[in-house]
Amino acid sequence: MTQLWALFLSFLQIGFLSIGGGYATLPLIQIEIVDGRQWLSLQEFTDIVTISQMTPGPLAVNSATFVGLRVSGIMGAVIATFACVISGCLISLMLERFFRRNQENQLIQTAFSGLQASAVGLIAGASLSMLTLAFAGTLNWNEVQTVEWLPVLLSTGYLVFLRKMKISPILLLVIAGVIGFFIY
């Protein structure tokens, strides 16, 4: 029961602090789940992020489901997902009420411009961490000793196919999955 309570509290916290959504939540999830609680290894976390991108739904919610399932089975998945979702619902309800009352306030509009800028920084940091992990096998830039050139070449090729040749992202994911299956 304490494991389920810990899952609930962890994902409730992640849900409440997930300003910016998507990739902006990755550092927060990593700190709580991999570094803090050590429920997953760094490789398992990366795999869950990859799987979360291929399944419908928000990244944090998908991650909560997968982590909950890994840590405490079906009940863990339900509790972690509920905790992650309920916090966002509560925040949305409170913000909706707040904005209706203060929609013309210039100070409030300025504060949210600052929040948008911080979300961009969080997304950039998460992207750099994922690239470092994919290309060098570590999340810490200070620990990079060598770069694996095959992932660099593959991702560059995928980017070219996506941008220049206008290949469907879904088809590109399938192709990348097949190539990854045979290479790795």
Q: Where are the alpha helices (DSSP H) in the chain?
A: 2-16, 26-29, 42-54, 59-102, 106-136, 149-163, 169-183
Confidence of residue 102 (pLDDT cuts 50, 70, 90): confident
**8 Å CB contact between 128 and 27:** no
Confidence class for position 156, pLDDT limits 50, 70, 90: very high
Q: Which residue has the higher pLDDT, 67 or 92?
A: 67
Average confidence (pLDDT) over 142-156: 87
CA dist., res. 46 & res. 130, Å (int) = 8
Residues in Cβ contact with 124 at an 8 Å cutoff, skipping those fewer than 6 apart: none
Q: Report whether pLDDT(68) > 80.
A: yes
Residue 96 has pLDDT above 80, yes or no: yes
